[in-house]
Structures are given as structure tokens and as C-alpha cells.
Structure 1
């Protein structure tokens, strides 16, 4: 075993499973050519040596940190030009992160905190972009001719301390040393690991062939779907031979509490007991993406439970976990393990890292489950969804009236009544939302609480105050999807379009199953900034998806109409306008204006609305 400081680069191909599904042969062939013609030669030029392939990633060793970053930037720049003639939805792109940290080399494997941090950082990079950690920035900020944008301190999964993160900007220009004389002082025998991901507390390696959704026996649900295999009993079970079944049943029952998860039922899963089948085979037979499997070992009064979550479409293991407990209170052990799995599912598949802080803020696991259930209803933005959320959250508030998070949720209910037009006294409800936001923050300061206060100020067109509170939300909770998404929306509406868009996109990355309302303001900002292709891609994804928010699809159609008009494709614009009028006749230009009435820059809003009218959307 060897341990040393190394420069670690983590990269992930964006949407690999989707690309393979669209065009497996073409994607893999282009990936191979990129490696032979671009990646390998670039690494050699910068003193790097390819160590190992890991699915859609690579392992390489470089002679210095600077050379590693230069290689990464060159690859990202050339990848964009090499893929320019490929249809946008089939382009190969990578997210890349670089960190300087501790790495352990043991019998051909590589792991340690340095690898874990780098792998977590990667998800914060834009497609085609590069992010670096604070230690790398401190060493290189004057050595590589690129710009840097601080993303603040971020809390990364399973990393105890927050990590400073910087995004490299202007990466398409020629990269060169500003001061070559410092190069030798930066040499650390750098090992650059271009990895694919991380398995909870260890490094993830693809270990089975991805499943083709077209070959599944049942249609793959759009929501995250999971099958929990009966846990295998090992050791000398004695009188505890029921423990494995009990833990399996408990996990299935607990996961079924999550409104965003599709969970295969107990009877179906116990039919697999004793069968020797792989995660891929289970996924293919049941039509699910994720498979949770594990084992239970009983030795005297000690109990060891091991579990791992496999992604059948990606062909790898997302995370693995092992816990040791006493058998003296098996029911408590079952609950503890089930709740932990639920938390990890929320983090990996739906809510993102924010789930951990939500559990604490809500006052425990059972309360968190009610928060999630209410949120699912709230995000439908319908009178029925509002009523259901009010019932669920109202009960929580009655039981725990001094819990800051519960007060905050009730405040958002008053806000939503105004937004969806069901308030009998909008002025009173708006004022109550602001009062409850302040009350929640008086009880306990937390980032999400400032988002409601920012909304309150935005509604009053106090743009500077709205931005101030949005910044406070993001500063206090930089790893919160809601703080980034809502804070970014408020900043964009208040005049900071580019910065706000960046935070909204960060929110999308932080929450795997991001809310249905988010693509609309993201696309409005993208169109405002001239990013038409990216806005079009996201709008088409919304139209192809199952969405609960009743506003999501018509707003996606509105974005496509505006893009087509701006680009001069009036035939396509009129066709989309006809689709809007047929499917959503209540959506007039005046209706769209209500979405954007608070925007500081009315000139662009008028341009957007005029585009809808020119395409044939009724004015009123």
C-alpha cells in the first residue's frame, strides 16, 4: 500500500446512458476515436500516461498539476469542435473536476479522500467545463491563463468539511503558462484520475453491462424506479433466521413512503428469494432502473448488514454501505437501516444532498417523510395539490409549531395561494408569507428560509432586497438545491440574469429529480442570453417527460415558440402555437405575461410576448 498527495481529476460523460440508448454503436465508436486521436495524444504531450479505462472514464498519471489542468482544458476545447457536426442531442461532452488531495494505491486500486472529493466535485461542472477545488486554485490561480469564478463553499456527499469550488472560465482560449519558472515547484508526482463516479464510501467501477430499456419486459417508468432484492442471510442464523426477510420488508415499506419513487412490491420481490440473478436481470425482468441488494450476517449478538445500489442503465454500482449493529433490538435495527436507505435513495435519486439537511430541519425521519409528501403535492401547482400540501404540512405545524422549517412551509403555502390565483385576499396572504418567513428565521437561521423572504421582496419589486436575501440563502446553504434554484430565479428576475441562471442550473445538478417548475425560468434566462439551443433542448425534454406541475408543458411550448420566432422559423413557430392553442386554450399572451410580470427588464419580456403573439397565440 502506498499513500501520497496527488492531483486528482474526475470526469464524467454527460448523459452516457441516454447517448448509448439513442445510438450505441455511434456513441461508442466516437468515444473510441476521441480517445485514440485526442485524449491519449494530449495526455502524452503533457506528461501523462493512461493507466486504466473505466467504462466512459479513464485513469492517467501526469507529471504535474499544471500539466494535468492544461491537458483537461485542451481536451474540453477540442471535444467541442470535434462534436460540432453531431446532432446536439447526441454530442459527447464531459464534466471535469480537479482536486489536490490524499490518494491510497493498493493492489492496483486507487481510493482515499482525494478521490472522493474529486468525484463529488465533478457534478458541479458544466457540460464541457472544468471546476477545481480550493487547494488547486491556491496553487494555480496565477499559473494558467484562464479566468476563475468562485462557486463558494459546497458541501459534498460524505465529505465532512465544505470544499471551496471554482469554475474555470474562458476555457476556449489558448491555454498557456504565465510563469513557467513556477512549474517545478508544483510537481507532486501527480496522479490524475479521470473517473466515472463514486460508490458511497468507496470508488465506483462499472461491473456489469448496461441494460437496454427497449429489452425490458415492462416499460421503464419515468420516475426513479427501484426493486429491493430479498437480503441474503449469512453466517449461523439460529433463532434469527427471519432477520434478513424483516429488513427487506422494512426497506420496501419505507421506500414506498417516497412519492417520487416507483417501488416494486413485497410479493413480487420475495418471488426472487433463492434465485441466483444479477441486478441487470432483475431490472430487465421488472422494468426498473435501480436494484438494491444486500446481505445480513448474524454472529452471536452481532449483526452486519451490507447493501449496494446498482444502476442498470449505467451498468455500475452507485454506492455501497456496511453497518454493524447488535441483535438485541432487531426492530430498532430494521428501522435504522430502512431509514438510512431511504435517506440515501433521496440523495441519489430524487432530492439530492439537501435531503440530509431536510431530515435535520424537519425534526427527524418521520417528519421528513411528511415534508416530502407535502412537497410532491405542492409542486403540482393546482388547487387540489395545494389543499393536500396544506393538510399534510398543516398537521406537522400543529404538532411542532415552533419548528422553523414547518413555519417556513406554511409561509410558502400562503405564497402559493397568491401565485396560482386561489387566494381570497392576495394582499393578506402575501403579507402573511413575509411574516412567516421572518418568524422562521427568528426561530432558526437557515438558507431556504431566506428564499421565501426574497420572494416576498420580489413580489413588492424591491429588487435589491430580493437579491440580498437570495445571496444570503445561497451563502448559508451553498449545497442546497432549493437555495440555488429559488435564489437563482430571484436573482435572474431581479436583473442578474447570467448569475441567476448559473445558480438555477446548479440547483438542477444538486437535485437529481429537480422540480417541474424549474426548467421554465431556466429557459427564459437562456433565451434572454441568446442560448437558444440549450433552451430548446430542455424544453423538448419537458415535453417528452411526465410532469406534475400543470404549468410546465405550456411554458415549454411558449419557450419553443419564442425561439422559433427569434430565429425566423415562422412555420415551426405557428405549428407550436397551434399545439398550444389546441392543448391549452386558456394560455393566451396575457396569461404568459402573468408569469413574467415581476421581471426587472421589461424590454425583453415584451419581446418574448410579442414573439408569441406573432406566432398566433391569442393576445387575451
Structure 2
């Protein structure tokens, strides 16, 4: 190859993400503007082959582009470079190349962590992507999760411009952005690709709505492969966690032998914080190494490599004990929070456990709040919009008669002041259906809420709160599969959002996935040990479906100002338990709140359940209580 040709090949490789065109077919005919692959091969070069194209000539053709990428490639290479390279080389020979060749695809650019491929049709590209993911998952299933090769795949169909030896156009960039939007082990395709698919392939994908793609001006309507591996609490690793060290609490007691107690407090706080996956907690041996040394807090933070420090003291006087704790930003030395706890020393270890739990739960909230202010995704440039948004959250989390209306007004005002405020759109969607009876809202209200939630995701597809709200709207529209897809996306974006965990658990219970449902709910309660009341509703519903009626009743009784649907659930719980007195009292309360209550109306309007046997379980409970059919 001549030096001139090598330079041209390098230019193509660096500047472009695909160097071939396809002829997507409809009824066996080439689309307008496309031409058969053999003709293309005769006219242009691919990866360094000589081109017969006239210099300076500009042409445009339709291309189907598939972009693939290995998830966590840098981590895999850092852990074991030789093993990773050998695995990718083996998979290229055994899975990638055979599947691509079998469907007429051409690998145009093969990188260490991915490839760019073109096909003769959208159907070929999608079928190849599905085959790759299925065969790769089967090949890797016996390996530890941290050693598996997992792909993301994105597919786009677009015009590409030929300018001299260069191939230009946003279509290649969009394919790469779609790949980045896919779930690990998943496939994300553009709407234009989905429209080209036949009936079989088309049903393999779920509507992902419009999303924002990095450096792409217009939102893209995307579809996600419905059989992508599910994300679960045990399967997610947090790549960048907030780091914290707890320094040994100072013993201020008159007797030095009480140090065991202050050290016990310190170690229990370390253990409590370490349970939260959102935090990286320094081990006690490291933080205790600074005891008695005159080292500044900033220097301690630098040496331990942490964002935050916790320090405190323990003082005992007679039968009283005072424990203080404070949270400090390591880099600046700023005190973010402090509190003291006064207790009677009846059982010193019970006091230790109680205070540790209080400190840990409060610390996590304070750390999240501090992180929010430092790492917020710039939700709005309008202070007024942000203030309205915060006021809306207060009303949304309250249970007053007019709170839903007030929340709607606040979120509406936030959107008016900043139409690009994604979270305000998302919460306005929720407030709109809350104001109109959630799932019982009129169809036009549910449609408007869906449009608002999709707008929120299009404004900020990387904000987990927007994905979670879109999922919740789908739940209330009884679109359970779509809801699950967006909950899992929200979880991948932020595995430490307890709200997502509990709502996802509630959805899985509705879908009959009871064991997994309780795992999500339990994890949500663990991350948020002092949760809002609505957590109890999700828990109570799941426990009832599981047949754990006493626990379900206990959970539902935690809800303030219960409405008719909560009262009805309580009646069903007590009836299933066989507690006649409690059943009669709950039934009286229900009929007082809703004199015209009927079982069938509750079953059809009040229950968002997917499986008929679950509906029947509630029906049996209500009829056992003697409620009208």
C-alpha cells in the first residue's frame, strides 16, 4: 500500500464511524437512493482498500449502522489485560464474525472495546444484534459477574455524506449515542429502524419514548430490546461513590477505661455507614491510625482520600451520657451538620445501638443533601423555578386535603419559569394524575401526564428521577411492562434511590414476581430506614399478595389519613386473618368514608394488578368481610 493510500485510510478510520452503505429493502426492492453492496464495493474503499471515487465528489446514501461497545472495558483491562484481550479475541472468532457474516454485515471498524458494522437491511441488523446478545449471554453465564464480557448495541438508519475520501453525517454519531443509551446486554434502536422491522422483530422491542442524546440537538425516539438482562439490586456496582471516614470518637469521661465505649460507638457507626452502597467507608484500622496525632482535618482527608469526615465525643457524668457527632467536608473543613444526644445510662449497650442508628440514618441524609448541592445536574438556571419545585415537593409528600392541588400549582409555576426544567415536568406529570385520582384519572389526563413525563426524559434522559416518574405514569396507565423497563433504567442511573427500589418492588408484586419484589422493597427500606408513609402502601400490598395478612395490615395502618382504597385493603386483611372484631371496625370505617362502596368497583378501579389470581385474592377478602358485591 502506498504512503498516500495509508494516509487516506487513517483519515477514514479516525474521522468516521462507518464506511459502507446498505440497501434496506421493502418488499424486495431497494429504497430510493440506495444501491446494492457489490456496486458499493466496486466504488469505495473500506479500511485501507483503494477507492475508485473521484476526489472532491459529494454523494449521499442510506446506511444501516450498528455500533457495539464492551461495558466496563477499562475496568476489565485494568483487572486483567491478557485475560480480557484473549476473551474478546475468542468471542470475535466464535460469535461476532460468524453472526455478522451470516446476515450480510460488514465490520468496518474493529476497536478493542467495540465495533461498527453495516448491513443490507434493518431487519438483518436487528436480528444480528439479538443473536449476538443471546449467544454472548449464554457463553458468559458461568463466569463471575465482574469478568463477563457484556455488550451494549445501538442501531441507526440514516443518510451519510461522501465527500472525497471522507464519510460524514450525524447518522454515525447517533448510532454511537444509541449504543450508549442501551442497557448492559441490551439493544437500543432508532424509531426509523423500528419502522423497518417485520412483525416478529417489532414486538421484541419496547417503546422508550424520546430521549436526549449527547451532542445531538434533536431528541431521538428510541426502542429497547425487551429481553435485555434485568438489573437487580445485587447486580449493580456503583462506580463513583461518596467516600467518608469516621475518626475515633474522643472519650471525655473522667475514667480512661471508658474508651471502649467511645471506640464501640465509632466502630458501630463505621459498620452502619458501610451498609450503604452509595458510600465508600474507610476501615476502622485506617481512621483510628490518626488517634492522638496533631494532624489537621484537611490533611487527614487527603491522606485517606475521602470527601467527608465524621468526628465526635462521648462524655459520661453519673447516670447520664452525652454523645456528639459532626459531619465535616474534608477539603474545606466546613462543618455541614452537628448534633448531640443525651441519654440515661440504664443499659449502656442499648444506648450505644440507639445512638448509632440515629447518627447513621441522619448522616446518610446529610451526605446526600451535601452531594446534591455539589453534584446537582443543574436542574434549572431559574432560582424562582427551583423554589416553586421545592415547594411542590413539600406538598407532594404531605397528606392534606388540598396538597395535591397545591403541588400541581407549584410544579406548573416551575415549568412556566423554566420550560427546560426536567424534574419539574416529571413531577407535574405525577401531580396531574394525583389530583385526578391516579389510575382513575380520565384518559385525557393520563395521556397528558405521559406526554409530560416523556418530555422530562427527553430533557434529561440521565436523571433517574425522570425515568422513575415515567415508570410511575406507566403503572397508573396499567402499562406494566413499560413501567418495569423504566424503573430498571432509573435504577441503573442511580442504584441508591430508595424510592425507585420500593416502587419497583411494588410493581413486581403486581406482576406476580413476589420473591424479587420483596428483595427490592427490603433494600429500599434499608437505604431509607425512616421512610415516607407511602412505602408502607407498597409493602402492605406486596405482603397481602404473599398471604402475610397480619404483616400487611400492620404496614397499611402506618398510612395517615387513609382513603377508601386503603381502608378496603385493611378490611380484606382482617377478614383473611379471621379477626371478626377488627374486620367489623375496619368495614364500618370504610363504609363511613365510602357509603356506596362495592367490591367489583374496587377490583376494577382501585387495584393496579396484572394477574387475575391476585384480583381474586382481594375479592375473596372483601366478600368474606360481608361487603357488597
TM-score by length of 1: 0.48
Higher relative CO (CA 8 A, sep ≥ 6), structure 1 or 2? 1
Kindly name which structure, 1 or 2, has the bigger radius of gyration based on alpha carbons: 2
TM-score by length of 2: 0.47
